[in-house]
Amino acid sequence: MLNYDDFFSLRSSRVKSSIIRELLKLGNQPGIISLGGGLPDPALFPIKEFQECMNEALNEENGPISLQYGETPGYQPLKESLIEISKKDGITNIDMDNLLVTTASQQGISLLSQVFLEDGDIVITEKPTYLSAIQSFKTFGATFECVSIDQEGASVEELEEILIRLKKEGKRIKFFYTIPTFQNPGGVCMSLERRKKVIALAKEYGFVIVEDNPYGDLRYKGDDLPCLKSLDTTNEYVVYLRTFSKILAPGNRLGWIVGPKAIIAKVSLSKQAVDLCSPVIIQMATDIYLRKGYLWPHIEEIRKSYSIKCQAMLDAVAKYFPADTKILPPDGGMFLWCSFPEYIDTQAIFTTAVEKYQVAYIPGSAFFPDGTGQNTARLNFTKPSIEQIDEGIKRLGAFIKEEIAKHG
């Protein structure tokens, strides 16, 4: 009998199952309130409008195009619409060759990993950061340097210290991966001052910034901040990732990359070998959706709903959680980040929370490339109802207090 391990590549051995996916299996059992997954509220999906657009994409005129193979960089009319969205993001110095349609932003992360990374290459990330980005970078052999976050986002002081140290060691990074707006999992926004500093450091030390922006449109209070890509006036340093998963529906599975033409061309070649093109029918239907003007009223609707839920979670945390719980109050996005006393290991006690208190969350250590952060947790407020938020936080607060009491 064949031993398949003898045939698998070294790279495949680095691919590990997402702890979030495994834990959510437990959290999705009947009767359990899940504050875990980063899921939009399905009650807000624009089903009627998108069905209309799908029907139009399948009509007699469009069907032969929408059901055919498409160009790897993307369906041209959709790319035109995405350039208009980019202008709304403050990105005005691009054309069609600066933009590539992806099968959601996760494919963008994977493709960038593929074209940039060799074994041992250095990537700087925030700590904590998006778990699936960590998985992708590790799969392609990256080693990590990390900067902490606070209420103003990534520490640019730590970023500069790392860059100075690596330069002295004769090393350089491939890129800095950052989620500056409503960070996942931290929920915080990088300040304007820090955004400008990150761009300045990229110019000084010569590295690429990979800016992931899934949540930027989900602002509930405060003033909008320019994306890093809009501050990259030479269009040389920032590769910008966007997705429809959080602003339309995750089942749409479309995203896009904006970046320097040389990078987009290389990524396009890699995408050819992966899937040839993202589904043309979805691209066409999405373009129709955009041209009918459905997107921005829909975003306003979800903003209003999520804003209420966000405040409900903050109120419940203030009411039910231990007084020494540290949180990073978000102005938008989908998550609340919590830190408990250092002796609380949120992964070790997760099963007890599910079985005894019937509440689920995501242990924070999953978001740390170095495996630290055992006393932290990410909570989602967009998927559960307001009643579930209050009851779930009540249960979780009681559980954490019980665990604290065990330590005297």
Would you say the pTM of this structure is higher than 0.85? yes
Distance between CA atoms of residues 379 and 358, nearest Å: 15
Q: What is the pLDDT of residue 8?
A: 79
Distance between CA atoms of residues 177 and 124, nearest Å: 6
Q: What is the pLDDT of residue 198?
A: 98
**Residue 197 has which token pair?**
């500093």
Cα→Cα distances 185→28, 143, 371, 397, Å: 20, 21, 15, 20
- 68 Cβ contact list (under 8 Å, min separation 6): 280
Q: Are residues 80 and 183 in the same domain?
A: yes
Distance between CA atoms of residues 78 and 138, nearest Å: 32
Q: Are residues 309 and 223 in the same domain?
A: no
In total, how many domains does the chain have?
2
Within a domain: residue 32? Answer: yes
- 142 Cβ contact list (under 8 Å, min separation 6): 113, 117, 121, 122, 123, 174
238: three-class secondary structure by DSSP: strand
Of 234, 259, 291, which closes a domain?
291
Contact 338, 379 (CB under 8 A): yes
CATH of the domain at 249: 3.40.640.10
The position carrying tokens 């707006």 is 181
| H/E element, 312 | helix 295-320
Q: Are residues 94 and 195 in the same domain?
A: yes
Q: Are residues 280 and 314 in the same domain?
A: no
Tell me the DSSP string of 26-55: HHTSTTPEE--S----GGG--HHHHHHHHH
Q: Are residues 320 and 388 in the same domain?
A: yes
Within a domain: residue 3? Answer: no
- Phi-psi category of 189—alpha, beta or left, where left has phi over 0 and alpha has psi -120 to 50? beta
User: CA angle 190-196-198, nearest 5°?
Assistant: 75
Within a domain: residue 311? Answer: yes
Cα→Cα distances 91→112, 178, 286, Å: 20, 18, 21
Packing angle, helices 261-275 and 104-116, rounded to 10: 110
Within a domain: residue 178? Answer: yes
Q: Are residues 211 and 147 in the same domain?
A: yes
Within a domain: residue 1? Answer: no
Distance between CA atoms of residues 75 and 289, nearest Å: 14
Of 239, 268, 291, which closes a domain?
291
| Closest-CA residue to 178 (of 167, 162, 190) | 190
Q: What is the pLDDT of residue 342?
A: 95
CATH of the domain at 356: 3.90.1150.10
Q: What is the pLDDT of residues 97-115, one digit of tens each?
A: 999 999 999 999 999 999 9
**Residue 266 has which token pair?**
């290389």
**Lateral strand order in the sheet of 238-243:** 99-102, 255-258, 238-243, 208-212, 173-178, 122-127, 143-150, 153-154
Of 239, 256, 291, which closes a domain?
291
Q: Are residues 112 and 233 in the same domain?
A: yes
Packing angle, helices 19-27 and 350-357, rounded to 10: 10
Contact 243, 105 (CB under 8 A): yes
Q: Are residues 151 and 202 in the same domain?
A: yes
Each residue's pLDDT, cut to its tens digit, for the chain (408 residues) gives 888 877 877 777 776 666 666 666 665 678 899 998 889 999 999 999 999 999 999 999 999 999 999 999 999 999 999 999 999 999 998 999 999 999 999 999 999 999 999 999 999 999 999 999 999 999 999 999 999 999 999 999 999 999 999 999 999 999 999 999 999 999 999 999 999 999 999 999 999 999 999 999 999 999 999 999 999 999 999 999 999 999 999 999 999 999 999 999 999 999 999 999 999 999 999 999 999 999 999 999 999 999 999 999 999 999 999 999 999 999 999 999 999 999 999 999 999 999 999 999 999 999 999 889 999 999 999 999 999 999 999 999 999 999 999 886
Q: Are residues 90 and 40 in the same domain?
A: no
Q: What is the pLDDT of residue 322?
A: 96
Q: What is the pLDDT of residue 352?
A: 93
Within a domain: residue 370? Answer: yes
Q: Are residues 369 and 251 in the same domain?
A: no
Q: Are residues 177 and 210 in the same domain?
A: yes
Q: What is the pLDDT of residues 13-43, one digit of tens each?
A: 776 666 666 666 665 678 899 998 889 999 9
User: What's the distance, Cα to Cα, between the start and end of the chain in Å?
Assistant: 56
Within a domain: residue 156? Answer: yes
Q: What is the pLDDT of residue 16?
A: 66
**Residue 327 has which token pair?**
């949180």
Q: What is the pLDDT of residue 263?
A: 98
**Domain region containing 371:** 8-46+297-406
Within a domain: residue 52? Answer: no
Q: Are residues 191 and 104 in the same domain?
A: yes
